[in-house]
Amino acid sequence: MLNDNLIVGATMAFGGLAPAIAIGFIVSKALEAIGRNPEAASKVQTVMILGVAFAEAIAIYSLVVALILKFV
């Protein structure tokens, strides 16, 4: 029942859950900030892209682990 492909799929599924929620929070707060102060939109956007990159990196770590499990 617990064959290898299931573990690989579960690694990616659980590893992508928290970063997706985190990115949703980051972008929603950034949108709120832009809505309040449209003049600072480009500054907020730069910091948002940075924050999204940090959060997405965690999902990429779990992707790399899944790839290593599958192909090595």
Partner 1 sequence: MASLNISISAEPIFHLGNFAFTSSMLVSLLTTIFLSLVAIRFYNTHKSKKPSGLNLFIQTIIESFYEFVQTITPHKASQFFPLIASIFFFIMFASWAGLLPGVETIGLRSSHGFVPLFRGGTADLNITMGTAIAAVFMIQVFGYKSLGVKYFKKFFNFSNPINLFVGFLELISEFAKIMSFSFRLFGNIFAGEVLLMVIAFLLPLFGPLPFIGLELFVGFIQALVFSTLTLVFISIATSHH
Looking at beta carbons only, is 1 or 5 nearer to partner 1? Answer: 5
Looking at beta carbons only, is 1 or 71 nearer to partner 1? Answer: 71
**Phi and psi dihedrals of 16, rounded to 5?**
-95, -5
- Under the binding rule (CB under 8 A), the answer on residue 56 touching partner 1 is yes
Q: What does each C-alpha distance from 4 to 10, 12, 19, 37 come to in angstroms?
A: 10, 13, 24, 50
Please report, as ranges, the residues that interact with partner 1 according to CB under 8 A. 42-43, 46, 49-50, 53, 56-57, 60-61, 63-64, 67-68, 71-72
